[in-house]
Amino acid sequence: MHFRPCIDIHNGKVKQIVGGSLKDQGDFAKENFVSEMDAGFYANLYQQKELKGGHIILLNGKDSPYYEATKKQALLALQTYPQGLQIGGGITPENAEEYLEAGAEKVIVTSYVFQDGQVNFENLEKLKKTVGKEHLVLDLSCRKKEDQYWIVTNRWQNFTQVALTTENIDLFKEYASEFLIHAVDVEGKAQGIEEQVVSILEKEMKDLSVTYAGGVRSMEDLKTLYRLGKGKIDVTVGSALDIFGGTLVFEDVVGIRNW
């Protein structure tokens, strides 16, 4: 298990938010933390700690008046730590190469692939052809409804009709080199991980690179994730970290790479 750091950018600021609160209308999000530092500061910190495969997420839509400020921060992070970070948020074949050329290790995609509640395989094929499987991460972030976890899109606001199942994950393996899964219902709440989501992911860990995010609040949570995922599932920690106003010591979390 490796720690994958994050840089979430909303309204031109590095933030930690409650994931399920994000709304395009009014560019609203319930904030846990708004940093006084820019994205370059965090990218530099992650580079110094030799943390690879972290993700930058743009939390504003392209129609937002804040989008350009958010994108500027994202590009600053990529330039600060080239080939050390992945990027997601509004990725399409038209802009994916721009981010890769700017220094992104990989691009992370959801909404372009999941449209009208279904998988758009034509778009998925186009994206794979444009950037290559090795540079593509599928974001299968999910929320629970009627005892099932469903993939959500458009900055986690809309449910698809595609469930997070081992069968569907297996279907996507030929298109992407890894997966990022936020358990959105607990994202940003630091109230514990979604163990059911971890159990689903563990069943597909034979030859799969997966990063789990959502709800981590303590070293005990990380130990639980390590146990349930048999040490194979990577983890992102946000709001709980002391560098984002939480109580979980950043240096301690960095140390899990030695588990």
* pLDDT level of residue 95 (50, 70, 90 thresholds): very high
Residue 190 has pLDDT above 90, yes or no: no
Higher pLDDT among residues 206 and 69, named by residue: 69
Q: Give the Cα separation of 151 and 117 in Å (integer).
A: 9
Q: What percent of the chain has pLDDT over 90?
A: 80
Record the tokens describing residue 37, joined without a space: 């530092």
Q: What does residue 22 show for φ and ψ, rounded to 5 degrees?
A: -65, 130
Q: Contact, 58 vs 66, CB < 8 A?
A: no
| Of residues 46, 106, 99, the one with CA closest to residue 71 | 99
Give the model confidence (pLDDT) of 109-166 as tens digits.
Answer: 999 999 889 999 999 999 999 999 999 999 999 999 998 999 999 878 899 999 999 8
Task: Give the contacts of 220 (CB within 8 A, at least 6 positions apart).
Answer: none
Lowest mean pLDDT among 30-39, 67-76, 114-123, 147-156: 147-156
Spatial CA neighbour of 84 closest among 132, 137, 43: 43
User: Is residue 60 pLDDT above 80, yes or no?
Assistant: yes
Q: Look over the chain and give the mean of its residue pLDDT values, rounded to a whole number.
A: 93
pLDDT band at 205 (very low <50, low <70, confident <90, very high): low
pTM score, two decimals? Answer: 0.93
Would you tell me the crossing angle of helices 93-101 and 121-131 to the nearest 10 degrees? 30
Residue 133: the pLDDT is 96
54-80 average pLDDT score: 96
Q: Span 54-63, mean pLDDT? A: 94
C-alpha distances (whole Å) from 73 to each of 69, 209, 254 are 6, 27, 24
The helix/strand/coil state of 224 is: helix
- Asked whether residue 191 carries a pLDDT value surpassing 90, the answer given is no
According to the model, what pLDDT value does residue 204 have?
66
Count CB neighbours of 7 within 10 A.
Answer: 29
